[in-house]
Amino acid sequence: MISLPKIKDILGNNDPKQLELLALESASLTRQYFGRTISLFAPLYLSNYCSSHCTYCGFNSHNRIERIKLKPEQMHAEMKHVADTGIENILLLTGESYKATPVPYLLEATNIAKQYFTGISLEVHPMEAAEYAELFQNGVDGITVYQETYDRERYKEVHISGKKSDYDFRYATPERAAQGGIRHLLMGILLGLSDVAEDLTKLYEHLRYMEKNYPGVEYSVSFPRLRTIKGRDFALCNVDDKMFIKIVCLTRILFPRVGITLSTRETAELRNNALELGFTRMSAGSNTSVGGYTIKEEAEQDPQFDIEDTRSVSEIVQLLKNKNFDPVFTDWRPIGNQT
Ligand code: SF4
C-alpha cells in the first residue's frame, strides 16, 4: 500500500512535467479499463428529515428549513420527470432519520423507482446487514456512504450529534452493505474537512480492505468538495482544481478498475476539461432539494448544497458526444435480486 509520505509527495508536486505524466497515466488506464464510456445518473431527494448535526450540511437538524418527505404520488411525479430525461440510474437520497425514513419507507420508494429505472442506489442512513439484504432482495443494487473524513478528531468536531457522530458504525457500513449482498458500493471523503493526504491514505486502506474481503462487489469513489448552501459558506474548502485533479489521477493509478464519479458540485468548465483524466460516472441535470424537480419552485427549495453545473441531461449527452465519449444510461439491469 502507498505510504502517507509518498502521497504527500505526489500531491505536493507542482512540476508541470510530473503533473502531465500523472494525467497521462491516469487517462491511459481509464481508457484501458473503461474505454470511452461515461455512465450517467441523477440524484433524487426523498426526504430532508435528519436527526444528526453535521456542520457542513444544509439538512442538519439545527438548520431551520421546512422538513418534508415525498409521498408515493410525489415520488411518481419526481421519478417520471427524471426518467423522461433518459436517466436510468437513480440515486435516492434522504437525510439521516431512522424515524422519518425507516426501511419500509425506503422499500416503498424502491418499488416505485423500479417502475422508472434499471439501476437503484441509496444514499441514506447507515443500516444493519440484514436491512441491506432486504433492500437488495427488493431491487436496491447500490449503496453510497461517505466517511467524510478519516480524522477521528475532526470527525467529532463536524459531526456534533446524532447517529452520524458514531465514527466506527459509519466506518463499518460498507462492510455491512457488502454482507447484505449489495452489488455496488460508492465510498469517499468530503474534500476540505481535513488534511487531504491523510484522508486519502485512510480511504485507500479502507478500499483495499473492502476489495480484499469482498471481491465480488463493484467499487466506486467520489471526491465531493465542500460547497456553499444557498450561497452561504458552511466551511471553507482548501482543495483547488489542481489538487482535485491530482487526487483523481492518483486514485486511478492505484485503483485502475474502480469507478470515479464527477458530480455537479463541480463547475461546467472543470467537468468539460477533466473528463479525459479518470472519471467514469457523471451526474447530470441534478437537483439537491426534496421535490426540486417538479414540486417546489426554485425560490422555495432548501438544497443540501448548491450545484455548480446546472446543465440538462441532454446538454451533458451532447458534451460527451462532442468529446467522442459514449454516454451510458443502462449499465445494469437486475434479473435475480427482485422479489
Ligand atoms: S450530512 Fe447527512 S447526516 Fe449530516 S446533517 Fe446532512 S443529511 Fe444529516
Question: How many whole angstroms from 9 Cα to the centroid of ligand 1?
Answer: 33
Q: Is the pLDDT of residue 338 over 60?
A: no
Task: Answer yes or no: is 339 within a domain.
Answer: no
pLDDT more than 90, % of the chain: 81
Q: Which domain holds residue 241?
A: 4-326
- Report, as an integer, the average pLDDT of 4-29: 96
Q: What is the pLDDT of residue 300?
A: 81
Question: How many whole angstroms from 161 Cα to the centroid of ligand 1?
Answer: 10
- Closest atom of ligand 1 to 61 CA is 5
**Who has greater pLDDT, 339 or 272?**
272
Q: What is the pLDDT of residue 313?
A: 95
Beta bridge pairs of residue 144? 186
Q: What is the pLDDT of residue 229?
A: 66
* Residues with C-beta less than 6 Å from any ligand 1 atom: 50, 52, 54, 57, 59-60, 95-96, 164
Task: Answer yes or no: is 83 within a domain.
Answer: yes
Q: What is the pLDDT of residue 115?
A: 96
- Report, as an integer, the average pLDDT of 287-292: 90
The span from the CA of 145 to the CA of 143, in Å, is 6
Task: Answer yes or no: is 331 within a domain.
Answer: no
Question: How many whole angstroms from 53 Cα to the centroid of ligand 1?
Answer: 7
**What pLDDT, in 10s, does the model give residues 95-143?**
999 999 999 999 999 999 999 999 999 999 999 999 999 999 999 999 9
- The total domain count for the chain is 1
Q: What is the pLDDT of residue 226?
A: 83
Q: What is the pLDDT of residue 303?
A: 81
**What pLDDT, in 10s, does the model give residues 193-237?**
999 999 999 999 999 999 999 999 999 999 998 876 666 666 556
Question: How many whole angstroms from 134 Cα to the centroid of ligand 1?
Answer: 23
- Closest atom of ligand 1 to 57 CA is 6
Side-chain-facing half-sphere of 101: CA atoms under 13 Å? 28
Q: Is the pLDDT of residue 337 over 60?
A: no
Q: What is the pLDDT of residue 63?
A: 87
Task: Answer yes or no: is 109 within a domain.
Answer: yes
Report the C-alpha dihedral over residues 325, 331, 145, 78, rounded to 10 degrees.
90
Task: Answer yes or no: is 332 within a domain.
Answer: no
**What pLDDT, in 10s, does the model give residues 163-184?**
999 999 999 999 999 999 999 9
Question: How many whole angstroms from 227 Cα to the centroid of ligand 1?
Answer: 14
The span from the CA of 116 to the CA of 108, in Å, is 14
Task: Answer yes or no: is 337 within a domain.
Answer: no
Task: Answer yes or no: is 144 within a domain.
Answer: yes
- Report, as an integer, the average pLDDT of 69-96: 96
- Look at ligand 1, atom 1, and give the residue with the nearest C-alpha: 57
The span from the CA of 82 to the CA of 246, in Å, is 33
Task: Answer yes or no: is 336 within a domain.
Answer: no
Question: How many whole angstroms from 146 Cα to the centroid of ligand 1?
Answer: 11
Q: Is the pLDDT of residue 305 over 90?
A: no
The span from the CA of 85 to the CA of 88, in Å, is 9
The span from the CA of 113 to the CA of 270, in Å, is 31
Q: What is the DSSP letter of 90?
A: E
Burial of 272 (0-12, 13-18, 19+ CB in 10 A): middle
Q: What is the CATH number of the domain that holds 234?
A: 3.20.20.70
Q: What is the pLDDT of residue 140?
A: 97
The mean-pLDDT minimum among 20-34, 51-65, 246-260 falls in: 51-65
- Closest atom of ligand 1 to 48 CA is 7
The mean-pLDDT minimum among 9-18, 21-30, 154-163, 226-235 falls in: 226-235
Q: What is the pLDDT of residue 177?
A: 98
- Closest atom of ligand 1 to 304 CA is 6
Q: What is the pLDDT of residue 234?
A: 60
- Look at ligand 1, atom 5, and give the residue with the nearest C-alpha: 60
